[in-house]
Structure 1
Amino acid sequence: MPSASTEASTTVGAVSATSDRSPRSPRPAVVDSRVTPGGPGYRRMSLALFLAGVATFALLYSTQALLPLISDGFGTTASAASWTVSAATGALALFVLPMSALSERFGRRTVMTASLAVAVTVGLLIPFAPSLGALVVLRAVQGAALAGVPASATAYLAEEVRPKALITAIGLFVAGNSVGGMSGRVLTGWVAQEWGWRVALAVLGVIAVGCAVAFRLLLPAPRHFVAGSLRPRVLGRTVRAHLSNPLLRRLYAIGALFMTVFGGVYTVIGYRLADAPFSLPQGVIGTIFLVYLVGTVSASTAGRLAGRLGRRGALYLAGGTTTAGLLFSLSDSLVLVLVGLVLITAGFFAGHAVASSSVSHTAKEGRAQASALYQSAYYVGSSAGSTLGAVAFHAGGWGGTVSLGLLAVLGVVGITVVGSHAARRGPVPVH
């Protein structure tokens, strides 16, 4: 998840010129002191941020696989229970930009540590929520706290890791996101089947505490962070410049629409599989989230795909794959539904990887804020998808949720077509 500024100083050892230096004297060597794979501290750094990613996404989507049980426990509808997901992702979307600004002033490690501390503390309180309203409020607080992790993690890596190793290091953090999102759902599904959803969330909370403590003990102190000032006017100008860029606006919309599909499908799929004709137990439903592993693979190959087809070609392919998955999922055959989930997951992660990387490529200045805006749009899409997908399911069954997803994919294709026409007219001016 990409976030704060990466423009900190990255070299040491430069020596000022003096008046009596000989013109022929060799210049002192400039040594890059940032870490590389195999170097001191690299493994600790990678493991620490991997665990931060696990904790963040396990907590963020902790209730998603448990929505049918939460609905039964509080005697409410799918659309009402879906707010336990939407509140967390919506709060994260609102707070990711302010958190990126705080990390510029107080440091990446400090903000990530504080964010995880608050989030895991709330996670230990959530199993005792007396009502659905209280649960939604606690989830909103948790999502707001978690915004500090994606807002700071990639900036920390960009400042502390050499450029050639940066993609690998960020890849490990993203892998932690995927593993956390998947394992949290699978674990809670099986635990809830035996002891209920409250015990499942308690177990996940304890695991998140362990990840947060290990993260703080393992993460090396930053050596290249340079504190900035909190200047709202400067931040406001940067944000306005990004939002005035048509290409960036299109990329933000694409990220939000892809996440609308994904959030809607995975919020409602538990209800779909628990009902006839499948009638699967909660543990098996949780195991379905192992499909996330497909997304890890498709995201990692998205770069090569874009290299062959171009960015817009890759987006068309991702949209087509997602559409095919949505249509397969309409079947009453469990095998075809699973095939549909595989295609939806692969298409979503590929599209998300292409869109998010294009944001960093497009923004020549203020990349931290450009990335934070993308994350905001992305999680707004998640929140909207979770809520609207559940509303559509309540109104029209699984077909209603699929219709919502198809509309979102149509939006992605339409925006990409507009981008293709704009590219023919000329380059987008850089703000």
Structure 2
Amino acid sequence: MSPASTGASAVVDAAPSVSPPDSRMAPGGPGYRRMSLALFLAGVATFALLYSTQALLPLISGDFGVAAGEASWTVAAATGGLALFVLPMSALSERYGRRTVMTASLAVAVTVGVLVPLAPSLGALVVLRAVQGAALAGLPASATAYLAEEVRPRALVTAIGLFVAGNSVGGMSGRVITGWVAQEWGWRAAVAAIGVLAVGCAVAFRLLLPAPRHFTPGYLRPGDLVRTVRGHLSDPLLRRLYAIGALFMTVFGGVYTVIGYRLTEAPFSLPQGVVGSVFLVYLVGTVSASTAGRLVGRLGRRGSLYLAGGTTAAGLLLSLAGSLALVLLGLVLITAGFFAGHAVASSAVGRTATTGRAQAAALYQSAYYIGSSAGSTVGALAFHTGGWAGTVGVGLLAVLGVVAITLLGTRAARREAVVATA
């Protein structure tokens, strides 16, 4: 594995005692601001496209005459397509470059976005959304690998937090825009508006992102890919991080797939535009993700995960209230806990994997979006059978899983410390 692929500087040093200057990007340094804005916009486009139908599910159900569980497949198909293709896309990024794969992925995704509003049936809509999700698979893992290679380690959590913050802004703006546009002109016009937003983000991303300086192209060898994946899956810490990402996203996917149905029904009976505006709580996620680095600095990784899980659980319990104000407060806590936990776990993957970082990140993203698909479908089914309390029950079980896995990590760390001092 070359030094560039591991994120280390390539050095030929005749005087080993003298450390060479680190040429990777850091806050305040050349290119860092452009890089941050470019990946922020990529995050906006990714989440805006990926979840463009989520706030519109009640309208899609009415248009095609289907129940919540069937309409939820327009979300689950997109996240499922991303989960299935993120690993192959990461392999392509090892060969052709992170920036190239991210650019191509956005180009295909926005092209499909032009066709989504024209879908003649629910089946066609689900297929188009699956293709769109598969195209977007080139973004998350490639972006994380790009950051791991081009940004100094101490700035990595903050840089990934900004990318995740872009995700939250994309998810928020997509839902707010679709809510108000759909109220006036229907869900098809709403997803078309998201397509226009994504085109602008894609163009700006390509113009802003600095060319990689620490990437060395590899070869597409399936055997090497299998060995790399097997090595990552044999690492207990990485396995725990993958499971944590999946479980956090199970909560988030379930809550935000179903919340539109709850708020448009009695006792709230909110109009579609107002329901879309509820997603402004994503701004809380922007803040919690971008400050994840400071949180880890104070509490450590596991302490931060405990706090994120506890915050999410508190939000789920509050959302059971019959008061709209308490439901909204619950959504604020769920969103803050989720984005903080996701930023902490995903950045830990980048720091844990010293080789095959694109594949390590791809496995995390695959688990993450499998969790999203599971949360969307199971959350919708739970809502159909048990109402909002059923969806909350699914979320609480997932949070309990996060806490249990983090506790296993805490105990493992204590055992290792005892062995080290023996």
Deviation per CA, 1:233-282: give whole Å up to 9, x if none. 12211211221222322221111111101110000000000000100011
Deviation per CA, 1:351-410: give whole Å up to 9, x if none. 222322332343343333222211111110011000100011011111111111111112
Does the Cα contact within 8 Å between 2:106 and 2:136 map onto a contact in 1?
A: yes
Find the counterpart in structure 2 of residue 323 from structure 1.
313
Does the Cα contact within 8 Å between 1:11 and 1:32 map onto a contact in 2?
A: no
Does the Cα contact within 8 Å between 2:160 and 2:343 map onto a contact in 1?
A: no
Find the counterpart in structure 1 of residue 95 from structure 2.
105
Query: Tell me, what secondary structure is at the counterpart of 2:217?
Result: coil
Are the structure 2 counterparts of residues 324 and 231 from structure 1 closer, same or farther at C-alpha, using a change threshold of 3 Å? same
For 2:264 and 2:300, locate their aligned partners in 1 and report how far apart those are by CA, in whole Å: 41
Identity %: 81
Deviation per CA, 1:285-339: give whole Å up to 9, x if none. 1111111111222223334434444433332222222221111111110011011
Give the CA deviation at 1:74: 0.6
Q: For the pair shown, which has the larger CA radius of gyration, 1 or 2?
A: 1
Find the counterpart in structure 1 of residue 356 from structure 2.
366
Structure 1 position 343 matched with structure 2 position 343: no
For 2:348 and 2:276, locate their aligned partners in 1 and report how far apart those are by CA, in whole Å: 33
Are the structure 2 counterparts of residues 412 and 237 from structure 1 closer, same or farther at C-alpha, using a change threshold of 3 Å? same
Find the counterpart in structure 1 of residue 257 from structure 2.
267
Greater mean deviation of Cα atoms: 98-107 or 366-375: 366-375
Find the counterpart in structure 1 of residue 144 from structure 2.
154
Structure 1 position 352 matched with structure 2 position 342: yes
For 1:52 and 1:124, locate their aligned partners in 2 and report how far apart those are by CA, in whole Å: 18
For 1:253 and 1:178, locate their aligned partners in 2 and report how far apart those are by CA, in whole Å: 21
Deviation per CA, 1:175-204: give whole Å up to 9, x if none. 322211110111111100111000011111
For 1:215 and 1:93, locate their aligned partners in 2 and report how far apart those are by CA, in whole Å: 23
Are the structure 2 counterparts of residues 28 and 308 from structure 1 closer, same or farther at C-alpha, using a change threshold of 3 Å? closer
Give the CA deviation at 1:43: 4.0
For 2:353 and 2:22, locate their aligned partners in 1 and report how far apart those are by CA, in whole Å: 25
Task: State how 1:217-256 maps to structure 2 within 5 Å.
Answer: 217-256=207-246
Find the counterpart in structure 2 of residue 176 from structure 1.
166
For 2:365 and 2:66, locate their aligned partners in 1 and report how far apart those are by CA, in whole Å: 31
Unaligned runs of 5+ in 1: 18-22
Does the Cα contact within 8 Å between 1:55 and 1:180 map onto a contact in 2?
A: yes
TM-score by length of 1: 0.89
Find the counterpart in structure 1 of residue 284 from structure 2.
294
Are the structure 2 counterparts of residues 193 and 417 from structure 1 closer, same or farther at C-alpha, using a change threshold of 3 Å? same
Give the CA deviation at 1:56: 1.2
For 1:54 and 1:204, locate their aligned partners in 2 and report how far apart those are by CA, in whole Å: 11
Find the counterpart in structure 1 of residue 183 from structure 2.
193
Structure 1 position 212 matched with structure 2 position 211: no
Find the counterpart in structure 2 of residue 7 from structure 1.
6
For 1:310 and 1:8, locate their aligned partners in 2 and report how far apart those are by CA, in whole Å: 23
Find the counterpart in structure 2 of residue 115 from structure 1.
105
Does the Cα contact within 8 Å between 2:54 and 2:256 map onto a contact in 1?
A: yes
Find the counterpart in structure 2 of residue 385 from structure 1.
375
Find the counterpart in structure 1 of residue 399 from structure 2.
409
TM-score by length of 2: 0.90
Give the CA deviation at 1:151: 2.1
For 1:133 and 1:272, locate their aligned partners in 2 and report how far apart those are by CA, in whole Å: 25
For 2:85 and 2:226, locate their aligned partners in 1 and report how far apart those are by CA, in whole Å: 15
Greater mean deviation of Cα atoms: 239-248 or 297-306: 297-306
Unaligned runs of 5+ in 2: none
Match of 1:143 among 112, 125, 133: 133
Find the counterpart in structure 1 of residue 69 from structure 2.
79
Does the Cα contact within 8 Å between 1:257 and 1:411 map onto a contact in 2?
A: yes
Find the counterpart in structure 2 of residue 20 from structure 1.
none
Are the structure 2 counterparts of residues 244 and 155 from structure 1 closer, same or farther at C-alpha, using a change threshold of 3 Å? closer
Q: What amino acid does structure 2 have at the position aligned with 1:207?
A: L
Structure 1 position 59 matched with structure 2 position 49: yes
Give the CA deviation at 1:99: 0.7
Give the CA deviation at 1:44: 3.7
Give the CA deviation at 1:153: 1.9
Give the CA deviation at 1:227: 0.7
